[in-house]
Amino acid sequence: MAKKVVATLQTAGKDFAKVVRMVKSPKSGAYSFKEDVVPNDQVQQFLASKK
C-alpha cells in the first residue's frame, strides 16, 4: 500500500519546487532560512518578494 502512495506523490510533485531563501533579521543581524513549496512557474516571484 505504501508503494502506491509514494508513486502517486512522485508524479504530482514534478509541478512543484522547494525553495529555500536566506532572510536577515533586522533586530539581531542573524540569518534564518525560509522554506516553501511553490509551483514551478512561481519560483522567480517567490525569490523576488521580500517577505
Q: What is the pLDDT of residue 27?
A: 92
Q: Is pLDDT larger for residue 43 or for residue 11?
A: 43
- How far apart are alpha carbons 45 and 29 in whole angstroms? 25
Tally of structural domains, the chain: 1
| 46 band by pLDDT with thresholds 50, 70 and 90 | confident
No. of helices (H) and no. of strands (E), the chain: 2, 2
The count of other CB atoms within 10 Å of the CB of residue 43 is 15
- Print the domain residue range for 16: 2-48
Dump pLDDT digits (tens) for 8-35: 555 666 788 899 989 898 999 999 998 9
Question: What do you get for the CA distance between the two ends of the chain, in Å?
Answer: 40
Interior angle at CA 30, CA 26 and CA 32, nearest 5: 95
Q: Which residue has the cell 533586522?
A: 26
